């Protein structure tokens, strides 16, 4: 599928279908071709589609690795429709003089909303009770050992108090929760006061939290930031909520902790090796699972795609995009 554009406009490719309003916007500035299928293109097909294109609007679920960079000699920008960008080999793009962008800010509230959906669902065992009712057991609740956790007046721990973390913390006031957090770099006193959150060293945060929410970015340093040793520090009555990225948690260690009731529960939107999540999760009744839907509202997904499209148009005009994640590429482009 192609979208009309001004003559001699830069040529770009969209890795998966996007909303009509996004295509309309792109079509006013660029010559656009779109993958007509809903699934990711295989690497060879994606390389062929992008080989003669200057720009790529990339779904955050689609990988763009070094071997693809080498096969796209005309490419000048890869604009990811996601906050994270670990699906892109940023170093290879920088070496090739390709700008890489993401879509921060617009996802904060919808991701925070999902974090709270998981807190409530995991804490009150909503999904397990739903299954119990559907099985015709309404009158037999007394014999069901399921007992939820109080959310009100509990301690909410947030590992990674950035934009999403602050949005999560703001929602805790309605439950009269104490909010504690850990960042590698502590917030300024005025920012702590604004969020109502108290900084703790990481291990103290793990011990103190009744509900621990992960909202930190994925980096090589953060891989398995929560492994068996860290999970062992948490209360057996605690719930772990992950709306950040798969790989931050050692999923195998988490499955073992949940199975052995060393943790009361978990609510997970992201997983290692997704979509091939650890099958051990599927056998547990104390974990709520969602398929990476933190931004899955229409309004948010439109906003993300439009933000990525704006970044792409800026890059195709030779301007520095608003959400550039590899600013060091600018010196290479000026050389």
Tell me: do 178 and 266 sit in the same domain. Answer: yes
Tell me: do 234 and 313 sit in the same domain. Answer: no
Would the pLDDT of 84 be above 90?
no
- Write the CA distances from 236 to 124, 265, 268, integer angstroms: 15, 9, 18
Domain residues for 87?
2-105+297-334
Tell me: do 93 and 128 sit in the same domain. Answer: no
Tell me: do 209 and 166 sit in the same domain. Answer: yes
Tell me: do 85 and 114 sit in the same domain. Answer: no
Q: What is the tens place of the pLDDT at every residue in 7-55? A: 589 999 999 999 999 999 999 999 999 999 989 999 999 999 999 999 9
Q: Is residue 249 within 8 Å of 218, Cβ to Cβ?
A: no
Residues labelled as active-site residues: 245, 274, 292
Tell me: do 10 and 154 sit in the same domain. Answer: no
Axis-axis angle for helices 298-316, 20-27 (nearest 10): 10
Structure confidence at residue 5 as a pLDDT band (50, 70, 90): low
Tell me: do 165 and 226 sit in the same domain. Answer: yes
CATH number at residue 129: 3.40.50.720
pLDDT at 143: 67
pLDDT at 332: 79
Tell me: do 324 and 238 sit in the same domain. Answer: no
**Parallel, antiparallel or unpaired: strands 2-3 and 31-34:** antiparallel
Would the pLDDT of 147 be above 90?
no
Q: What is the tens place of the pLDDT at every residue in 90-110? A: 999 999 999 999 999 999 999
Q: Which residue has the tokens 């891989």?
A: 223
Structure confidence at residue 195 as a pLDDT band (50, 70, 90): very high
Looking at per-residue pLDDT, the higher value among 334 and 186 belongs to 186
Q: Is residue 80 within 8 Å of 88, Cβ to Cβ?
A: yes
Tell me: do 152 and 272 sit in the same domain. Answer: yes
Tokens of 168: 């999560």
Q: How far from chain centre, in Å, is Cα 28?
A: 30
Work out whether the CA dihedral 238, 244, 246, 247 comes out positive or negative.
negative
Give the highest mean pLDDT range of 4-18, 286-300, 320-334. Answer: 286-300
pLDDT at 140: 67
Tell me: do 276 and 161 sit in the same domain. Answer: yes
Tell me: do 169 and 303 sit in the same domain. Answer: no
Indicate the number of domains in the chain. Answer: 2
* DSSP category for residue 287: E
Tell me: do 200 and 247 sit in the same domain. Answer: yes
Q: Stretch 228-244: mean pLDDT, rounded?
A: 98
Tokens of 75: 């490419």
Looking at per-residue pLDDT, the higher value among 141 and 125 belongs to 125
Percent of the chain whose pLDDT exceeds 70? 95
């Amino acid at each position: 599928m192609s979208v009309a554009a001004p003559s001699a406009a830069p040529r770009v490719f969209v890795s998966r279908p996007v909303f009509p309003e996004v295509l309309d916007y792109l079509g006013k500035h660029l010559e656009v071709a779109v993958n007509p299928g809903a699934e990711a293109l295989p690497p060879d097909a994606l390389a062929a589609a992008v080989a003669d294109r200057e720009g790529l609007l990339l779904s955050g679920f689609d990988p763009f690795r070094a071997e693809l960079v080498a096969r796209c000699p005309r490419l000048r920008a890869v604009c990811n429709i996601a906050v994270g960008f670990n699906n892109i080999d940023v170093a290879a793009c920088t070496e090739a003089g390709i700008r890489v962008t993401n879509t921060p800010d617009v996802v904060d509230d919808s991701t925070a909303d999902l974090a709270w959906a998981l807190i409530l669902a995991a804490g009150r065992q909503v999904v397990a009770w739903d299954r119990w009712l559907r099985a015709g057991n309404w009158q037999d609740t007394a014999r069901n050992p399921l007992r939820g956790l109080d959310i009100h007046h509990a301690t909410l721990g947030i590992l990674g108090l950035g934009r999403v973390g602050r949005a999560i913390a703001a929602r805790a006031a309605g439950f009269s929760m104490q909010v504690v957090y850990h960042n590698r770099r502590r917030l300024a006193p005025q920012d702590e006061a604004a969020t109502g959150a108290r900084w703790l060293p990481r291990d103290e945060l793990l011990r103190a939290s009744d509900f621990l929410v992960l909202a930190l970015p994925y980096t090589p340093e953060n891989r398995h930031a929560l492994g068996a040793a860290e999970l062992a520090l948490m209360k057996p009555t605690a719930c772990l909520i992950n709306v950040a990225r798969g790989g931050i948690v050692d999923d195998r260690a988490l499955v073992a902790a949940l199975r052995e009731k060393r943790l009361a529960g978990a609510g997970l939107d992201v997983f290692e090796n997704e979509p091939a999540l650890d099958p051990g999760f599927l056998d547990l009744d104390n974990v709520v699972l969602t398929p990476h839907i933190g931004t899955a509202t229409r309004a948010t997904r439109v906003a993300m795609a439009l933000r990525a499209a704006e970044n792409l148009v800026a890059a195709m005009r030779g301007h520095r995009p608003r959400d550039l994640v590899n600013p060091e590429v600018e010196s290479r482009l000026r050389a």
